[in-house]
Amino acid sequence: MYKYAMHVAYSLVSQSNNIFFFTLSKLNMEETMKSLLDDSFESAMTLTNSGAPQVPDRYVLPPSQRPALGSSLGTIETTLPIIDLSLLHEPLLRSSVVRDINMACKEFGLFQVINHGIPPSVIEGALDAATQFFDLPVEEKMLLVSADVHQPVRYGTSLNHSTDRVHYWRDFIKHYSYPLSKWIDMWPSNPPCYKEKVGKYAEATHVLHKQLIEAISESLGLEKNYLQEQTEEGSQVMAVNCYPACPEPEITLGMPPHSDFGSLTILLQSSQGLQIMDSSKDWIRVPYIEGSLIVQLGDQVEVMSNGIYKSVIHRVTVNKDYKRLSFASLHSLPLHKKISPAPELVGNNAPAYGEFSFNDFLDYISNNDCVQQRFIDTLKKSNS
Ligand code: OGA
Ligand code: NI
């Protein structure tokens, strides 16, 4: 079994585009530095490959946070909305698709899309490149480990290897992806097909994002370009996740409950594993539909819509038998741009949320215990 010392300080902000509301603890430099000195990096892939029959203690969740993976307990089979995006281009049908999107966003903050225009070969190419990347020898992947959350390319495990109290059965590589020509040279050179295959997928999701954000604007009764203009110069971060087969999936998770920080996340999954929390706080499995993509609302849309839409709280379960891959394409406003509710949606009342920027969010999670409170809840105004 490999163990690699990490010479780098993993920051608390391991998920720069996500908010995790119970895993981040107050920044304590002394503790962080101490843990780094005797720390080692052991990825979920390494553990799976070692054939251990049990997960190490650090992966074991308190009973109340464990996923109920049985057929009846905890998770509910609900039919989640599926939107045929090709119909958005039919002038006579567009308004009814926009209405369906409105209902899906209001009820779940999530929908699946089919006929989205990204060719199957591009999707298969991306999954193939990711498979090859995570199968690389540990030494090769460790070249991309970084402590600096502003690094445009980072490899890691769990959420935040050095500070997570509980670890999650996930390895990941994240990279900035827009504008592609600015970042692609920094992406992994191994496997050799990575840049081309993942680059094609990143470009295609960027185009798809524009169509989706326009339809979502319309579904809120805003100008078609309203949200698109807000996000125009924004960022796209591609989180490529790998959840290897896990010996004890009933006591661990691949990712804890969280909502994504950005405006929209477009998610590609290679098999089932994602769950979302519904308004009754029950967990719903998101079924795997071959060729489809999942669209999730993030915190920025919740604020811009003045709370008409809510960001979706989701988590990832793992399984005993096979590895699951996912691509989460996180679309977000620029770092310093202030986000506030659209005036048209506020009307004569006071806005339901204060304004904030991505940078304010980073400051918050560096200085607060997010176990108790999600960042977005700090923005809610009590008078609304
Ligand atoms: C994420 C995420 C879900 C998945 O990367 O933020 O929620 O299914 N991923 O991997
Ligand atoms: Ni997420």
CB 305 within 8 A of CB 227: no
What is the best residue among 16, 23, 255 to mutate for testing ligand 1's pocket, by most ligand atoms within 8 Å of CB?
255
- Residue among 243, 256, 384 at smallest CA distance from 323: 243
Question: Would you state the pLDDT for residue 143?
Answer: 92
What b/e string do you get for 219-258 counting C-beta neighbours within 10 Å, with b at 16 or more?
A: bbebeeebbbebbeebbbbbbbbbbbbbbbbebbbbbbbb
Q: What are phi and psi of 34, to 5 degrees?
A: -65, -45
Model confidence at 33, pLDDT cuts 50, 70, 90, reads very low
User: Which residue has the least CA distance to atom 8 on ligand 1?
Assistant: 274
Nearest listed ligand to the Cα of residue 270: 1
d(CA 240, CA 126): 10
What is the 262 CA–ligand 2 centroid distance (Å)?
A: 10
Q: Which residue has the higher pLDDT, 142 or 69?
A: 142
Q: Which residue has the higher pLDDT, 232 or 326?
A: 326
Contacting residues for 24 by C-beta, under 8 A, at least 6 apart: 12, 160, 163, 365, 368, 369, 370, 371
Task: Output the pTM of the full model.
Answer: 0.87
Per residue in 324-370, pLDDT tens? 999 999 998 887 888 899 999 998 888 899 888 877 877 776 666 55
What is the 157 CA–ligand 2 centroid distance (Å)?
A: 15
Beta strand 40-41 with 4-5 is antiparallel
CA angle 177, 182, 186 (to 5 degrees): 75
Tokens 């999650």 -> residue: 168
- DSSP per-residue codes, 145-161: B-S-TT-SEEEEETTTT
Atom number, ligand 1, closest to the C-alpha of residue 172: 5
Structure tokens at 9: 């300080």
User: Which residue has the least CA distance to atom 1 on ligand 1?
Assistant: 328
CB 61 within 8 A of CB 253: yes
Structure tokens at 94: 């567009």
- DSSP per-residue codes, 186-252: GS--SSTTHHHHHHHHHHHHHHHHHHHHHHHHHHTTS-TTHHHHHHTT-EEEEEEEEE---S-TTS-
Per residue in 89-102, pLDDT tens? 999 999 999 999 99
Atom number, ligand 1, closest to the C-alpha of residue 269: 8
Model confidence at 85, pLDDT cuts 50, 70, 90, reads very high
What is the best residue among 21, 157, 171, 241 to mutate for testing ligand 1's pocket, by most ligand atoms within 8 Å of CB?
241
Give the SS3 label for residue 184.
helix
Beta strand 283-285 with 110-114 is unpaired
The verdict on the CB of residue 241 being under 6 Å from ligand 1 is yes
What is the best residue among 272, 314, 323 to mutate for testing ligand 1's pocket, by most ligand atoms within 8 Å of CB?
314
The verdict on the CB of residue 16 being under 6 Å from ligand 1 is no
Model confidence at 239, pLDDT cuts 50, 70, 90, reads very high
Q: Which amino acid would we find at residue 359?
A: N
From residue 134, give the alpha-carbon distance in Å to each of 129, 131, 137, 272, 318.
Answer: 9, 5, 8, 19, 16
